[in-house]
Structure 1
Amino acid sequence: MRNLSLVTILISCSTLLNGCQNSQPPNATYDLPKLVTLLTERTRDNLAFIEGGTFIMGDFGAVGEDGVWRPYFPPTIEEDQPHKVTLSSYSLSKYKTTWHDFDTYLLANDLPLIERGLSKTWERNPFEQDPASRLFVEKPARVTWQDAKNYCQWLGSLTDLPLDLPTSAQWEFVGRNRGSKNWIYSTHDGQPLSAHPELSERVHDTGEYVPVGSRLPPNPLGIYDMADNGMEWVNDWFSETWYRENPEITDPKGPDEGAERIVRNMDFSFSRIGMPESLPSALNEEWDSISEYTFRCALQSPIPLTDSDQ
């Protein structure tokens, strides 16, 4: 697990009342320049260079002993139809963005620190230190697609680097160890967790979300949590037909518009779903459930960071 730099935070005032929408967080003093400097340093250190290549994206399936090709997951073969994709080189964060990272962004931009519950929000403290909390500083931040996009582009403006969300093709290329057909699942070895009872038991026993990079081994590219710790936003609009209409493409970014953004799943390495900004709540027709998922940033440059800085 990566080491999060310890930052001295001076806090005074009363404790935030849990679930009280109008309560105010304690007054606090933060060394924001130091926080931002540490964040940009971590961002650079955590970028893993991914050499581009050509692969079959989507449900690449397999040929059986009878010589017949079959998809791995027939129910979604229409939207996950295999297609040839060529990617330029790029870099991807080894880790999902943490709450520590995201809270630094919010404070630096004077944005509200809130927690959501269906259609309600309430103020919260930054840099939550309780490991049991969903907002614990080392756990992955779960935010809206626009929040994730804004965060990556803000980091890009700070570092003068073309940082953004990865495309769906870039995510899948890494999740499958550079597009390998041996990587049916986006785990460290391409096999399901059930093939590793000790890892499966660890996931079962430690909850849905844990500190980033702490539970499962990285894949051969050094990337953590591709098969664990929450589904991830990517940059593309979702479409069931776009790849069928573009069966061979270089550096795809998906359709120009749509109603839902792609969330990369953790079932098969090629799984993806579309999610709108919000969904109606089953509890109350006047409430909406805001779509919030984890994410990581990508350096959209074919040059390794160490070389581009020279």
Structure 2
Amino acid sequence: MRRLRLLGGLALAAALVLLASSATPPATVNDGYDDFLLVPAGNFSMGDNFGDGEARERPVHVVYLDSFYIGKLEVTNADWTRFRNDPGYDDPKHWPGGLVVPRDQVPFWTQVQNHGGGTPDSGSYPVIGVNWDSATAYCHWLSEKTGRKYRLPTEAEWEKAARGTRQSRYPWGNDISRDRANYVGAQKYDTVQPAGFFDGSLRGALKTQSNASPYGALDMAGNVMEWCSDWYGRTYYSESPRRNPKGPESGAYRVVRGGSFFVEAPDLHSYARSAAWPSFQAHRMIGFRAVREP
């Protein structure tokens, strides 16, 4: 009788362990459109804790975020080509306000020097020159294709994905060099590097250092600035809600984060804030990465 009770207890314990493990979200998901990395729910301190940024990056404030998945890489030309060549590109329901941006309106698509997506061997480079509407449309299209919810990250989600809870200047730590990030002066002609170029690999004569964030996302400092979903508010940090902030209700500009190949190192700080006109499409320094909801 005691043996039966013991066996029953072991079976119950095993079932509970199995149930718990099945409820744990995977660290990486892939719905056929690249890897997305888990950023767990919880608090983090958002803003310039070093005192070397701009007033718009302060005060430091604690933010709680629900869990989400962040793209390991910036959206590439290969990703964009799948969208661009799909009949769904022309579906107004994917586009803010129903206004479809013509395929050939992206100004850098055919530029070899900028590794535009319409040039040979460019698939691994980040797509550039897409405006906020286009980036949002891509996420809507991707949601329809996969049956999952994809969108642009909020500014708070972007910063947590970039620096986690350790509050470093850059995703990997407090020091920077051009073997770890693509910023001005890294190349003879300042332009994009392939997404994920700085992953710690030996590339010809160059030994790169990994620029991964605490969650494994690459290139969150440099290469291209990335659209966020939020309207930009200069004083928003002083009035931001502490749980899942989504930015001001309205504005003239949308937030871009991460710095680019054409700015100095301080503009690559994980807490550095920038903004751009959402319809602006002639900017080769802006790309984006997506977020997937659990």
Pairwise CA distance, 1:144? 0.4
Partner of 1:60: 49
Distance 1:97 1:289 in 2: 18
Distance 1:51 1:200 in 2: 25
TM norm structure 2? 0.68
Pairwise CA distance, 1:56? 1.3
- 2:80 is equivalent to residue 102 of structure 1: yes
Q: Which structure shows the higher strand fraction? A: 1
Partner of 1:72: 52
Distance 2:227 2:181 in 1: 24
Pairwise CA distance, 1:83? 1.4
SS of residue in 1 equivalent to 2:287: coil
- 2:230 is equivalent to residue 236 of structure 1: yes
Q: Work out which of the residue numbers 27, 41, 64 in structure 1 matches 2:32.
A: 41
Residue pair 2:57, 2:273 contacting (<8 A) in 1 also = no
Q: Which structure shows the higher helix fraction? A: 2
Amino acid in the other structure paired with 1:192: D
Amino acid in the other structure paired with 1:42: Y
Distance 1:210 1:116 in 2: 19
- 2:239 is equivalent to residue 245 of structure 1: yes
- 2:182 is equivalent to residue 204 of structure 1: no
SS of residue in 1 equivalent to 2:33: helix
SS of residue in 2 equivalent to 1:193: coil
Identity %: 28
Amino acid in the other structure paired with 2:225: M
- 2:254 is equivalent to residue 261 of structure 1: yes
Measured against aligned partners, the alpha-carbon deviations of 1:179-214 in whole angstroms (never above 9, x if no partner) come to: 312x1113xx222323xx644699814743111112
Amino acid in the other structure paired with 1:277: P
The residue correspondences of 1:153-164 to structure 2 (distance < 5 A) are: 153-164=140-151
Measured against aligned partners, the alpha-carbon deviations of 1:254-309 in whole angstroms (never above 9, x if no partner) come to: 11111000000332110111211357xxxxxxxx94687111110123xxxxxxxx
SS of residue in 1 equivalent to 2:286: coil
- 2:122 is equivalent to residue 128 of structure 1: no
Partner of 2:276: 275
TM norm structure 1? 0.65
Unaligned runs of 5+ in 1: 1-38, 62-70, 280-287, 302-310
Distance 1:53 1:201 in 2: 30
Distance 1:269 1:200 in 2: 13
SS of residue in 2 equivalent to 1:41: coil
Residue pair 1:57, 1:84 contacting (<8 A) in 2 also = yes
Note closer, same or farther for the CA distance 1:116–1:253 as it changes in structure 2 (3 Å cut): same
Residue pair 1:175, 1:226 contacting (<8 A) in 2 also = yes
Note closer, same or farther for the CA distance 1:158–1:239 as it changes in structure 2 (3 Å cut): same
Note closer, same or farther for the CA distance 1:243–1:219 as it changes in structure 2 (3 Å cut): closer
Residue pair 1:113, 1:123 contacting (<8 A) in 2 also = no
Q: Work out which of the residue numbers 83, 100, 104 in structure 2 matches 1:114.
A: 104
Unaligned runs of 5+ in 2: 1-29, 91-101, 200-209, 260-267
Amino acid in the other structure paired with 1:179: T
Segments ≥4 residues shifted beyond 6 Å:
121-124, 200-203
Q: Work out which of the residue numbers 205, 218, 221 in structure 1 matches 2:215.
A: 221
SS of residue in 2 equivalent to 1:172: helix
Q: Work out which of the residue numbers 166, 173, 186 in structure 2 matches 1:190.
A: 173
How many residues in Structure 1 have an aligned counterpart in Structure 2?
A: 228
